[in-house]
Amino acid sequence: MILKNKVCIITGASRGFGKELAILLGQKGCRLVLAAREENELKLVAEKINKLKGNARFIKTDITNYNDIKQIVSLTLTEFKTIDILINNAGIMIIKPFEQMTRKECEYIIDVNLRALINLTHLVYLHMLKKGKGHIINISSIAGKRPSMNKAPYCASKYGVTGFSEALALECKSKGIKVTNVCPGAMKTHLFDNVDAKYKKKYVFMEPKEVAMVLVSALESNGCLDELIMTQMQ
């Protein structure tokens, strides 16, 4: 896939994997709309991209808020007239035994990681359908392919993303729209900030920049990937 000039929305672009992806895609010439809640962080990412002669806008968004989601789409269409790529990356994780999780925590994981992703995809999909082309990239997780201890609601949300990606891909095939499900293993990002050290120590972490480089080069060399699993050699 040629990335130059493609209009791309990235959620969760204020830090971590989304930020690294945004910088790389900016360098490849994508025109970007970056969304997340932390406006100052987003602004810094957009400034960095624009200083490198990229073209990035940003919008403060809580993706659990449907009005905010609609604003991402309308800003993108106002600024760039089209949407070529949607990268659903925003996500949260809580690691602890299920009995220690509150109902609120369980619901919030599903709200951010799955419900919001489906809602934004739906709006963007309607636009892509009219154009007869587009690419939806969902950042699931290896926890969306295999069970993982003390992460039952997170696994449920990510298995949900994987299932959504696979099923939507079947519908999209004849409509010119591609769906890629991305399943990284553990990366050194802020996702683990609130995880207790006793759970954290079993992970081997990859650098988010390196994982982002693999994803971008995979997209450049084969735009038809339906799934990309990236885990660290043990």
Active site amino acids: 154
CA torsion sign, 4 to 8 to 10 to 14?
Answer: positive
Residue 84 identity (one-letter amino acid): D
Length of the chain: 234
Considering only 3, 25, 89, 165, the residue that binds ligand NAP (CB under 6 A) is 89
b/e sequence 169-181, b meaning 16+ C-beta within 10 Å: beebeeeebbbbb
Residues 6-25 binding ligand NAP (CB under 6 A) are: 11-12, 14-18
Type and span of the H or E element at 90: none
DSSP 205: P
In the bound state with ligand NAP, the residue whose beta carbon lies nearer, of 92 and 214, is 92
Shortest Cβ distance from residue 36 to ligand NAP (Å)? Answer: 3
CA 158 to chain CA mean position, Å: 12
SS3 content of the chain, % helix, strand, coil (to 5): 50, 20, 30
Considering only 75, 92, 156, 229, the residue that binds ligand NAP (CB under 6 A) is 92
Residue 38 near ligand NAP by CB under 6 A: yes
Binding mask 119-158 for ligand NAP (x = CB under 6 A): --------------------x-x-----------------
Contact of 189 with 208, CB cutoff 8 Å: yes
Contact of 155 with 147, CB cutoff 8 Å: yes
Stretch that binds ligand NAP, among 23-31, 44-52, 91-99, 172-180 (CB under 6 A): 91-99
DSSP 168: H
Stretch that binds ligand NAP, among 31-39, 129-137, 194-202, 214-222 (CB under 6 A): 31-39
Shortest Cβ distance from residue 133 to ligand NAP (Å)? Answer: 25
Residues 156-215 binding ligand NAP (CB under 6 A) are: 184, 186-187, 189-191
Binding residues for ligand NAP, rule CB under 6 A, total 29
Q: Give contact residues for ligand NAP (rule: CB under 6 A).
A: 11-12, 14-18, 36-38, 41, 61-64, 89-93, 112, 139, 141, 184, 186-187, 189-191
